[in-house]
Amino acid sequence: MNVEARPNPLKTQSVELGIADCDVHPNPASLEDEVFPFIEQKWRDYIATYGMVQRIGFAGGTQYPKGQPRASRRDSYPPEGGPPASSLSFFREQHLDAHNVDMAVMIPLRIGQALQNMDLAVAVCAAINEWQTEFWTSKEPRIKGSIVMAYENADACVQQIEKHAHKDDFVQISMLSRTPDPMGHRKYWPIYEAAAANGLPVGVHAFGYGGNPPTGGGYPSYYIEDMMAHAQSCQALITSMVYEGVFDRIPDLKLVIVEGGIAWLPSLMWRLDKIWEKNRLELSHVKRPPSEIIRQHVWLTSQPIEEPDNRQQLVEAIEWMGWDRVLYASDYPHWDFDDPKRALPVQLTKEQRDGFFRGNAYKAYGLS
Amino acid sequence: MDTLLDPETRGANRIIPGAVDCDVHPASPAMKELMPYLDDYLSQSVVDRGIEQLTSVHYPPNAPITCREDWRGPGDAASALKRMQTHLLDGMGVGTAILNQMLGIQILFNADMGAAFARGLNDFMAREWLDKDDRLRASMVLPQQSPELCVDEIERLAGDKRFVQVMMLVMGDRPLGHQMYWPIYRAAEKHGLPIAIHAGSMYRHPLTGVGWSSYHSQDYAANAVNFQTTVTSLIAEGVFTKFPNLKVVMSESGWTWLPAYLWRMDKYWHGLRMLTPWVDRLPREIIADNFRFTLQPVDAPPDRAVLEKLMEHVGTEDLLLFSTDYPHWQFDGTECVPDGFSDSQLRKMMIDTPKATYSRL
Amino acid sequence: MAERQKHVVAKVSDFEGTDRKLVEVKGRPIVIFKKGDEWFGMLDRCPHQGGSLCSGSLISWVESSGPGDYRMSRKDEIVRCPWHGWEFDIRTGVACARPTKYRARPVGVSVVKSEETETVGNLELYDVSREGDLVVVEL
Ligand code: FES
């Protein structure tokens, strides 16, 4: 396939203030050149010898092959070469400038926060944090980083949080949704305590290889099932955090769910309220109705946004959860990218628009 | 129970004469009640090996949702049937009740033993329940461990028209669309039996994609997400391309999640259609043709306006089948239908849709 | 409605080594696909969220008679949007998944010999020299 011509970025409608994009995915042009310098030689040798093993059978790639290469927009490869979103200049041109983004939260993926070799995971995550500041946030103030951590090792996470949380470069702590144990499990609580103490939300991005089948009925067959199931995993993780009392225990904790969709939240809140009312004996540590806890502590990023034929229905669903809960995200450069001009093609009030595209994010991340 | 029998209160429950209640739970038999229905080898094994009660942890007998406080009583079949008559059939005026027996025989790993228990349990249901009140119908309990043995059980019972559907647990060995289950669907379609997919698990995997929960409440909440992934599986695997006349009744699944689920599913299908090309129409169209959902639990706020909007999002009045989920605690008093359903919707879900769904009614 | 005009937008030889080209006509981005001797054009904006179809892949039409069966036909006649992967028939613009609901806008494309260009017009506008065979877009 020979793609000769590259389209000019479409001009954006003028927006007075730039938008906040709560999920973008810069990549290293090469691990060797950009990330390995921050890793001890012994771990470089280890990776060269054994690879980076996760709870999945393949040495690279996934057991559910994606719909397009690297799950990326086919037009996102930088002209100078390298993987999508590995060139800052092209990232600016195709995304930040083209869409008037003045705050973009980068969430590094494919780095193995849950590598089986925990010492390796700690070393790689530490390096990725250095890489974010060195190659991205220090060069482009519109880009903010996420502190990535080997989240099966809470002590190491707390160290990373203490090391980076005070820097302007980072706006959140990053975890992946498919953890080995549900996120309300108390082994993760020290992470949440450190995040809350430092005023940073925990951003939970869909994906990860926790070693559990993506459904309670085992492994599905097709890629579309794996993708769909992220919405369900996110519902399960919110259920876990609420019912296991995380927010009662850590009242300053903020949770941002990234890339799981949004429209399922009202139904989940209603269900959790009903079950909670009937099981007060078991859930005596949960002091308030789950919907109230969620409305105070949980935000969802919008992408991949649900698209009913009648978009007004999505607006109604957002009303049920509250407009202040939703943060715009593009997921650039991935294939299910949502263009800010087209993501929500309905009439919004100025307040809704400002909140969705900017204000809610600044609040969630504690920025001004 | 006097308030339940009071005609004035009974009027408030909005059940119309002849209503079919599509998800009702008979008491699970104690092992000694079941013994007379087990084959010789299994009954010897029960005694000789000390096999205990096969109660699933999914519905702990004393947990609040498993049985409403004012519907509790002795567990033997005769007493339980009497209570059901008092509360549900005579009390609330349900015309026909479809019984889903939840004894956890599917959890056993030994498939032969599972099948022997299933035969005993189905025979028990026929003698101790169906024979005793002709307003009762039942779902066949299947040894979900082995699709081949499920087919045997379907063939064995197909002649008894009081078994109006077959039942599978929403969480099995594999997502239920998987080809390993197709022999069951072939047999069910042949005999005009819908597949009731009911809340519950064979406990082969953690109940969520993110691991084992700490609390019963989490596990119960996990049902809804597993119904969602099960819809995805049944559609993506092409079950309805293969068995176009098959009906699936999602039972105790909740349904207020359905519109948002379909907005996402339709969207993904649009971009990934070529990866499962046998799915040759919008998922929501498949749902409309092949899926039905039982009413309770209604995961929605007690707000008429919200419910009306939700029904608009669902987009059709044909998807719901009336259910009380008796004696599970889903509502109080006799308020089994929340505010916000139109009269035409009531008629559809209580009479027309059940008739159209269950060829044996 | 403005009347349709013909615009010379490229030389046939521009398509050596490529099967597509993005041009601008009347301020609008148009993608031209060449398949053997056949030419197809579309507005280069996906009707979904506006992705540039020019960066999409050209694939076959995949049908099925049942689970596990994949039947391919019409090689390279389906453009798959580089963003969310929707498929469009390059002959008609129709969206494969929901043909009655979505359609990419097709644009007429033809080839003329340079001698014939006098009758075509707008030649200078597109900075194409009059040599060999020329590609014409009708818009
Ligand atoms: S923009 Fe083309 S598929 Fe979404």
Question: pLDDT of A316-354, one tens digit each?
Answer: 999 999 999 999 999 999 999 999 999 888 989 999 999
How far is it, in rounded angstroms, from Cα B107 to Cα B28?
A: 15
Q: What is the pLDDT of residue C121?
A: 65
The pLDDT of residue C123 = 61
- pLDDT under 50: residue ranges of chain C: 1
Question: Is the confidence at residue A269, as pLDDT, over 60?
Answer: yes
Q: Give the distance, in angstroms, between the CA of residue A81 and the centroid of all CA atoms in the same chain.
A: 26
| Option in C63, C81, C97 nearest B269 (CB) | C97
Question: The whole model's pTM is what?
Answer: 0.95
Supply the pLDDT for residue B12.
56
Answer whether A323's CB lies under 8 Å from A316's CB.
no
Over residues A21-68, the pLDDT tens digits come to 999 999 999 999 999 999 999 999 999 999 999 999 998 888 999 999
The number of beta carbons lying within 10 Å of the beta carbon of residue A32 is: 12
Across the interface, do C66 and B238 touch by the CB < 8 Å criterion? yes
Residue C122: the pLDDT is 64
CA of residue A336 to ligand 1 center, whole Å: 9
Would you say B98 and B164 are in contact if contact means Cβ atoms under 8 Å apart?
yes
pLDDT for position C124: 57
Does A170 score more than 70 pLDDT?
Answer: yes
Is the link from the previous residue into A69 a cis peptide, with omega within 30 of 0?
A: no
Q: Please tell me the predicted confidence (pLDDT) of residue A354.
A: 95
Atom of ligand 1 nearest to the CA of B271: 3
A7 pLDDT above the threshold of 60: no
Cβ neighbours of A261 in B, within 8 Å: 260, 264
List strand residue ranges (DSSP E) for B206-327, in order: 248-251, 291-294, 320-321
Residue B95 maps to a domain = yes
CATH class of C6-55+90-138: mainly beta
Instruction: Tell me what pLDDT residue A341 has.
Output: 92
pLDDT value of position C131: 77
Residues in A closer than 8 angstroms to B65, CB to CB, are 275, 278-279
Which class for B248: exposed (0-12), middle (13-18), buried (19 or more C-beta within 10 A)? buried
B9, part of any domain = no
Does the residue B198 lie in any domain? yes
Q: What is the mean pLDDT of residues A107-123?
A: 93
> Residue A60: its pLDDT value, please?
83
Whether B3 is in a domain gets the answer no
**A187-197: pLDDT as tens digits:** 999 999 999 99
Nearest to C18 among A4, A7, A8 (CB): A4
User: Is the minimum CB–CB distance between C82 and chain A shorter than 8 Å?
Assistant: yes
Chains near C (3 or more Cβ pairs under 8 Å) = A, B
Cβ of B267 within 8 Å of Cβ of A235? The answer is no
Q: How many domains does one find in chain B?
A: 1
Q: Per-residue pLDDT tens, chain B, 361 aa: give them.
A: 344 444 444 445 789 999 999 999 999 999 999 999 999 999 999 999 999 999 999 999 999 999 999 999 999 999 999 999 999 999 999 999 999 999 999 999 999 999 999 999 999 999 999 999 999 999 999 999 999 999 999 999 999 999 999 999 999 999 999 999 999 999 999 999 999 999 999 999 999 999 999 999 999 999 999 999 999 999 999 999 999 999 999 999 999 999 999 999 999 999 999 999 999 999 999 999 999 999 999 999 889 999 999 999 999 899 999 999 999 999 999 999 998 898 999 999 999 999 999 999 9
- Kindly state if the Cβ of C102 falls inside 6 Å of ligand 1: no
B141 DSSP β-pair partners? B167
pLDDT for residue A17: 80
Domain that holds residue B133: 16-357
Question: Ligand 1 in contact with C98 (CB < 6 A)?
Answer: no
* Cβ distance of C86 and B241 shorter than 8 Å: no
CATH number at residue B186: 3.20.20.140
pLDDT of res. C68: 96
CB contacts, 8 Å: C96 with chain B: 273-274
Answer whether residue A4 shows pLDDT above 50. no
Contact yes or no for C134/C2 (Cβ under 8 A): no
DSSP chain C: -PPP-EEEEEEGGGGTT-SEEEEEETTEEEEEEEETTEEEEEESS-TTT---GGGSEEEEEEE-SSTT--EEEEEEEEEE-TTT--EEETTT-BBSSSTTT-B--EEEEEEEEGGGGGGT--TGGGT--S-SEEEEEE-
pLDDT at A15 over 60: no
Percent of chain A with pLDDT over 70: 96
* Pairs of residues, one from chain A and one from chain C, whose beta carbons lie less than 8 Å apart: 67
Distance (Å, rounded) from C-alpha A235 to C-alpha A177? Answer: 10
Q: Do C87 and B273 touch (CB under 8 A)?
A: yes
Domains of chain A: 23-364 (3.20.20.140)
Contact of C29 with chain A, judged by CB distance below 8 Å, is answered with yes
pLDDT in the model for residue C70? 97
Residues from chain C contacting residue B278 (CB–CB below 8 Å): 64-69
Mean pLDDT in residue range A156-169? 97
Assigned token pair, A141: 């103030």
B244 in any annotated domain: yes
What digits encode the pLDDT tens for the residues A215-268? 999 999 999 999 999 999 999 999 999 999 999 999 999 999 999 999 999 999
For residue B333, tell me if it sits in a domain: yes
Select the residue of A185, A217, A320 nearest B171 (Cβ to Cβ).
A217
pLDDT value at residue A368 = 78
Residue A3 has what pLDDT? 40
Residues B198 and B255: their CA atoms lie apart, in Å, by 13
What is the Cα–Cα distance from B333 to A114, expressed in whole angstroms? 49
pLDDT by residue (tens digit) across A123-152?
Answer: 999 999 999 999 999 999 999 999 999 999
Residue B5 lies in a domain: no
Tell whether B271 is within 8 A of chain C (Cβ).
yes
pLDDT of residue B10: 42
Whether the CB of B31 is below 8 Å from some CB of chain C: the reply is: no
Residues of A in contact with C16 (CB under 8 A): none
The H-or-E segment that residue A290 falls in is helix A290-297
Q: Across the interface, which of B173, B211, B256 has its CB nearest the CB of A181?
A: B211
Best of C55, C78, C79, C84 for a ligand 1 pocket test (most atoms within 8 Å of beta carbon):
C84
- The ipTM of this complex is 0.95
Tokens of A127: 């390096």
Arithmetic mean of pLDDT over chain A: 94
Domain extent listing, chain C: 6-55+90-138
- For β-strands C57-63 and B136-141, DSSP reports them as unpaired
pLDDT score, position A315: 96
- Smallest CA–CA distance, residue B307 to chain A, in Å, is 11
